[in-house]
């Protein structure tokens, strides 16, 4: 049986989901990415001293977290985790159903926060919670009984646990706006930020990195013992932060959580650095530069989190913490990863029947990526300047520049998708 490498992927034993599943999540994320910058523009006046509360900055934050980060995480994890677990996703219908519930739910949450309209927010939060619970079940079923890459599976399982805490606290916070809080607002907020950003999304990012970074660099698998130690420290940091948030010796425990988290990050970064330095492929371009910047922002976010915990005498500390954690670490990391894996996945998914499989490099679009790279980093710098200088105009400039970057990134995704389905001679 002679088949092209890519056509061969269509076999019944394939662990690949149909291309329409991950790409619908990536497409929605691209649109929410642009909407996030527009929401930030709408709330630019409040951005430099933002410290929570309904309004467009909060909507922008959740358009990034729910609309871009979690949206992409669902699509990417359902595609990549089966590689680690060696088990296919059991249902192809569930991810599509999840998308149909989740995508309008995110829009309702963002509008409910921005307008503000608590009832819309509550309805959106309910839809998002149902969709994420469905995703959690799908992921848990794939992780149960998995027999590959134990470190990735452990990170995935821990991320699922963190997702549960993030969801319960999210429901409590949304319920508070409707007059039915489940937990005290301060505790719910601290737990939500910690478990959604560092817990669910952070652990998923760290876990998938153990597949992706060695694969990008063509390096040996990371040292499993070190990776387990890093995960153990990260879980200890989350636990310390949770107990601190519950009001038990909050400052000492938060200090301990930051220290333990920093040790986890250092161990993880060392593993990634070894992969990048020892891999067969050294010239990894903009994508890995973005990932390195993201790792630096992750460490900086811990320092800023310490500043928040210690009530540092700087009014913009909460906004700076949010920018470093969500924009600097998670969003920058995701965009770095996505620009590398999307052409790769598109190449794997190219419909059978083509005489020659397309190469990832023939499917990508370098110019939009170059524009996005410049815009994204400039936007983050401008927003940082806006927070430090308490400047509305720098926030406006940052939002406009970030929006231009989002358009460029969307153009990259659209180009890959068009080339993926193009006739053979034009691909």
Partner 1 sequence: MTSAEAGIRTPGRRWVAADGIHIDVRGLSPPGPLVAILELVGSISDATPVIVHHERDPQMLYPELAEIGWTAERIDSDPGEIRLKLERAT
CA distance 137 to 98: 11
Q: Pick between residue 341 and residue 407 the one whose CB is nearest to partner 1.
A: 341
* Site membership for partner 1, residue 75 (CB under 8 A): no
Number of neighbours of residue 252 by Cβ within 10 angstroms: 11
End-to-end CA distance of the chain: 25
- Report the residue count for the chain: 427
- List the helix and strand counts (H, then E) for the chain: 16, 0
Q: Pick between residue 154 and residue 293 the one whose CB is nearest to partner 1.
A: 154
CA distance 236 to 294: 22
Q: Is the dihedral of CA 77, 241, 171, 114 positive or negative?
A: negative
Ranges within 265-284 binding partner 1 (CB under 8 A):
279-280
Q: Pick between residue 2 and residue 225 the one whose CB is nearest to partner 1.
A: 2
CA distance 96 to 105: 14
Q: Pick between residue 20 and residue 251 the one whose CB is nearest to partner 1.
A: 20
- Given 104, 123, 148, 184, the residue binding partner 1 (CB under 8 A): 148
Query: With CB under 8 A as the contact rule, which of the stretches 23-31, 83-91, 230-238, 404-412 interacts with partner 1?
Result: 83-91
CA distance 14 to 396: 47
Please, which residues have CB within 8 angstroms of residue 106's CB and are 6 or more apart in sequence?
32, 62, 63, 66, 67, 71, 124, 128
Q: Look at the block and give the residue holding tokens 């929006």.
A: 403
- Given 187, 221, 243, 312, the residue binding partner 1 (CB under 8 A): 221
Number of neighbours of residue 304 by Cβ within 10 angstroms: 24
Instruction: State the nearest-atom distance from the C-beta of 208 to partner 1, in Å.
Output: 12
* Site membership for partner 1, residue 355 (CB under 8 A): no
Q: Pick between residue 327 and residue 357 the one whose CB is nearest to partner 1.
A: 357
* Site membership for partner 1, residue 410 (CB under 8 A): no
Q: Pick between residue 1 and residue 313 the one whose CB is nearest to partner 1.
A: 1
* Site membership for partner 1, residue 422 (CB under 8 A): no
* Site membership for partner 1, residue 6 (CB under 8 A): yes
**Which residues of the shown chain bind partner 1 in the complex (CB under 8 A)?**
1-6, 8-9, 11, 13-16, 83-84, 86, 148-149, 211, 214-215, 218-221, 224, 279-280, 344, 347-348, 356-361
């Amino acid at each position: 049986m002679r088949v092209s490498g890519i056509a061969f992927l269509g076999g019944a034993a394939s662990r690949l989901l149909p291309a329409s599943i991950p790409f619908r999540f990536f497409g929605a994320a691209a649109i929410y990415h642009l909407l996030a910058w527009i929401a930030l523009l709408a709330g630019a006046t409040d951005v430099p001293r933002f410290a929570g509360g309904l309004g467009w900055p909060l909507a922008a934050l959740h358009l990034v977290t729910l609309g871009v980060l979690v949206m992409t995480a669902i699509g990417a994890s359902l595609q990549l985790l089966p590689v680690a677990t060696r088990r296919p996703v059991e249902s192809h219908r569930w991810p599509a159903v999840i998308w149909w519930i989740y995508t309008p739910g995110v829009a309702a949450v963002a509008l409910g926060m921005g307008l503000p309209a608590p009832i819309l927010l509550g309805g959106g939060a309910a839809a998002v919670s149902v969709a994420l619970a469905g995703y959690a079940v799908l992921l848990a079923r794939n992780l149960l009984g998995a027999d590959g890459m134990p470190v990735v599976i452990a990170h995935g399982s821990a991320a699922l646990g963190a997702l549960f805490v993030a969801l319960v606290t999210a429901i409590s916070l949304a319920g508070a706006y409707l007059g039915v809080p489940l937990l005290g607002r301060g505790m719910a907020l601290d737990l939500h930020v910690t478990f959604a950003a560092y817990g669910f999304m952070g652990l998923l990012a760290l876990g998938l990195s153990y597949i992706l970074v060695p694969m990008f660099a063509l390096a040996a698998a990371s040292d499993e013992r070190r990776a387990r130690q890093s995960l153990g420290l990260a879980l200890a940091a989350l636990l310390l932060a949770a107990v601190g948030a519950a009001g038990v010796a909050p400052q000492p425990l938060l200090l301990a959580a930051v220290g333990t988290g920093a040790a986890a990050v250092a161990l993880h970064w060392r593993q990634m650095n070894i992969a990048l330095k020892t891999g067969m492929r050294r010239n990894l371009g903009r994508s890995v530069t973005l990932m390195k910047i993201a790792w630096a922002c992750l460490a900086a976010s811990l320092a800023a989190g310490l500043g928040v915990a210690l009530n540092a005498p700087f009014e913009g500390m909460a906004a700076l913490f949010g920018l470093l954690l969500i924009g600097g670490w998670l969003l920058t990391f995701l965009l770095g990863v996505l620009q590398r894996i999307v052409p790769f996945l598109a190449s794997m998914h190219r419909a059978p029947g083509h005489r020659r499989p397309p190469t990832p490099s023939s499917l990508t679009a370098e110019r939009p990526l170059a524009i996005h790279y410049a815009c994204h980093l400039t936007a983050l710098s401008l927003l940082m300047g806006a927070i430090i200088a308490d400047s509305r105009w720098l926030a406006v400039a940052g939002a406009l520049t970030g929006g231009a970057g989002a358009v460029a990134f969307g153009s990259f995704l659209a180009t890959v998708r068009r080339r993926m389905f193009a006739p053979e001679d034009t691909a």
